[in-house]
Structure 1
Amino acid sequence: MAKIKVTQTRSSIGSKPKQRGSLRALGLGRIGKSNVLEDTPDARGQINKVPHLISVEEDDS
């Protein structure tokens, strides 16, 4: 299955609690932290909740 690399680029200060929860579920918590995830519908749904706080790229490894 394909993998995606998610990196937090902006702070979660001032964001809604559900958005902070989505960041935590993605394995993020501070600016610059990255996580490699399986490209599943669950992960894509969480990514779609916080696109303004993260950057997403394909992981080739």
Structure 2
Amino acid sequence: MTDQVKVTLVKSAAHRKPNQRAIVKSLGLNKVNSSVVLPDNAATRGALFKIAHLITVEVVK
């Protein structure tokens, strides 16, 4: 079984760079305090790194 990460949007993506807004939307995060569980892989980690200042990340087993 692979690990997963729970990502929560804690700051708004409004007034951010367009690529950061696109990453937030593509991850499935819509509003502040919305959460989504994603697979823990290199592609996900790369996207999370780009918007690290907007989110919190928890490891889910």
TM (normalized to structure 1)?
0.93
Q: Which runs of 5+ in 2 are unaligned?
A: none
Residue type of the alignment partner of 1:21: A
Alignment size in residue pairs: 60
**1:1-61, aligned counterparts within 5 Å?**
1-60=2-61
How far off is 1:29 after superposition?
Answer: 1.4
| RMSD across aligned positions (CA) | 0.7
| Percentage identity across paired residues of the two chains | 38
How far off is 1:13 after superposition?
Answer: 1.2
Q: Which runs of 5+ in 1 are unaligned?
A: none
TM (normalized to structure 2)?
0.93
Q: After superposition, what is the alpha-carbon deviation per residue over 1:3-39, rounded to whole angstroms, capped at 9, x for unaligned?
A: 0000000001110010001101111011010000000
